[in-house]
Structure 1
Amino acid sequence: MRDLDLRKAKIHLAGFNQVEEPIDEFIAGTFDEWQSYQNAKNFSREYLISLIQMPGTKRWLFAGVYDQLAPTKRPADTKTKWKYTYRHLAGFEELEGRLILEYARSGRQAYVYADKVVHDMRVHSLRAKRMTVGDFPGFKAVDISHRTLKVIVKEQIDSWRSALSSVAGVYLISDREHHMLYVGSATGEGGIWARWETYAHGGHGGNVRLKALEAEKGSVFTNGFYFSILEIADKNTGEKQMMQLESEWKRRLLTRDAGLNGN
């Protein structure tokens, strides 16, 4: 691993932006693109060190060191003002996605000078392997982004496929960008896995209001989607009974009146 003059480096403390979790972007392989969009010229030193917050903790995953930081002004009607081009600086690859630091940042400060804060950071751990999608955590703990779902389906991760294909159930899609909910159900031989595969491949899954959202927002409409499970059932549960369970959850969560369910 090479040395780095911290007086020439700035740290990006990448955390939840009210829509996306940067750790999801990292797992999906899209973090570099996600980070490149900035509302100001935030990468103002020769080098950039990127740390990604582990949700709900004071721990940070090392994502890499970058140089050749070149900002380009974006059109006035775009969401972010600047787009950076940069490259991964060689010599740190063995730590990317593995090194975890502990640091209590001040408020929501996201851009700090490396030489000013490095003494307040300590090494928490070094993962044996690069951070990726973990094994299936149990039905109650499922809360994954659409990007992560696409990775799970693309890689056919066995623990997820086995668990989700073994049950029918009622699931929840949380649109965290627009603060709306959608309740759906899955039955049949493929269980929840087969239903969620359609979202991984197409986004809207054939749902009327989600189709409308796609027509309005384009392919980025799923950026704020998170998937969780409300209730599981035996795969032999009849479709009529599953629809009753789904309807009850729609009533409780008001997803017909104030959400994304059209029926």
Structure 2
Amino acid sequence: MPILFQDIWPIENLGEYKIHFARWNQHSQPLEVFARDRREWQEWQEYRPGRDDFNRPLIFSLMQFYHEQDTWLFGGVYRVLARHADRYEVELSDIRANMIGRLKLFYPYRDRTTRPVMERHHAAFEVHEILSEPYSGRNFPGFDDADLSFEELETLIRNERLDWRAAMENIKGVYLITDIHTGRRYVGSAYADLGIWSRWRQYIETGHGGNAELTRLVRDEGVGYCREHFRFALLEQRTARTPDDIVIARETFWKRVLLTRGEGRVANAVEIPCRRAPGI
């Protein structure tokens, strides 16, 4: 038998609440926004479209837990302080603050309306899980499944996720960056005294990681372009004791296999030139 949300959190004043079903806005996943920057997450509650959707005193904010179907993560109850023509003023209340980022609800919500009234949905929410700690990025899935969007990786780096850092910090290896907008692919490596974690951190901090072509891209399009379109995948990992020339040879192998050098190039698989230095 499922545990209903109303069984653990009965709300008597349902008429004071609007729900915010925060979903991907074509640029960012709200789950990653919440995990990397709580102030930025509050701005999602302060955004006002043309109509006055948050026309009640309280906002019950949920974000789509997009790794799991029909699952929502509780993002806090916000109090609406003022309604301006172009934005709301809100503050995070202390209502069930201990559940923020921990309470996961199951609800197959398909409606396009993102800010409905609470009384139409409260009774249908099921408790999916209560995390032991607030969400700070998805769990390390193993080296074979290390495939992340820029946003996901940024969340992990900013929160210093221990499971990811412990696994990736002291390994050398070869990785793939894919621009899903253009189809461009870049094979790189981490070696010498630079592990995968530190190498990927450079990309999160700058967007380009020191690569000349990516530097121009970031200059023209901004880091937001990288956050929206880049994916990182670990192609293979090696221990810290592996000689650098072996890692470099494996990088060359993957460039040949993935046709990123130009020989026999396929559509949308284009080499991004780079300078030769440790980790490039």
Match of 2:30 in 1: 22
How far the C-alpha of 1:66 sits from its partner, in A, is 1.0
Aligned residue among 162, 184, 189 for 1:186: 189
Contact 1:255 1:261 in 2 (8 A): no
The equivalent of 2:3 in structure 1 is: none
**C-alpha distance in 1 between matches for 2:62 and 2:100:** 10
Match of 1:31 in 2: 41
Contact 2:18 2:115 (8 Å CA) reproduced:
yes
CA distance in 2, matches of 1:163, 1:206: 24
Q: Could you tell me how far 1:60 is from its partner in structure 2? A: 0.8
**1:214 corresponding residue in structure 2:** 218
Distance 1:54 1:251, change over 3 A: same
Match of 2:72 in 1: 60
CA-to-partner distance for each residue in 1:53-111, whole Å, 9 max, x for gaps? 111411111101112254555xxxxxxxx443311122221111111111111244422
1:125 aligns with 2:129: yes
Conservation of the 8 A alpha-carbon contact between 1:60 and 1:102? yes
Amino acid at match of 1:36: E
Instruction: Mark the runs of 5 or more structure 1 residues left unpaired by the alignment.
Output: 74-81
Residues 130-139 or 143-152, more deviating: 143-152
Q: How far 1:180 sits from its partner (Å)?
A: 4.0
Give deviations 1:135-189, integer Å, cap 9, x for gaps: 422123323343443443345444322322343333233445x354432321313
What displacement does 1:223 show?
A: 2.6
Q: CA RMSD in A?
A: 3.2
1:232 aligns to what? 237
- Equivalent residue for 1:152? 156
Q: Is the 8 A contact 1:144 1:227 kept in 2?
A: yes
Counterpart contact for 1:183–1:249, Cα < 8 Å:
no
2:277 corresponds in structure 1 to: none
1:8 and 2:11 correspond:
no
Residue 262 of structure 1: aligned partner: 272
Within 2, Cα distance between the matches of 1:209 and 1:149?
21
2:57 to 46, 61, 67: 46
In the TM superposition, what whole-angstrom CA distance separates every residue of 1:183-240 from its partner, at most 9, and x where no partner exists?
2321313332232121122221122332222212234333313322234345432413
Q: Return structure 1 stretches of 4+ with deviation > 6 angstroms.
A: none
Higher strand share: 1
Q: How many residues align?
A: 254
1:10 to 1:162, Cα distance in 2 relative to 1, 3 A = same
- Superposed, 1:168-187 pairs within 5 Å as 168-175=172-179, 178=181, 180-187=183-190
The answer to whether the 8 A contact 1:168-1:185 is kept is no
Contact 2:260 2:269 in 1 (8 A): no
How far the C-alpha of 1:259 sits from its partner, in A, is: 6.0
Relative to the length of structure 2, the TM-score reads 0.76
- Sequence identity (%): 28
Q: Distance in 2 between matches of 1:226 and 1:84?
A: 34
- Which structure: larger Rg? 2
- Secondary structure (helix, strand or coil) at the match of 2:33 reads helix
TM-score (norm 1): 0.80
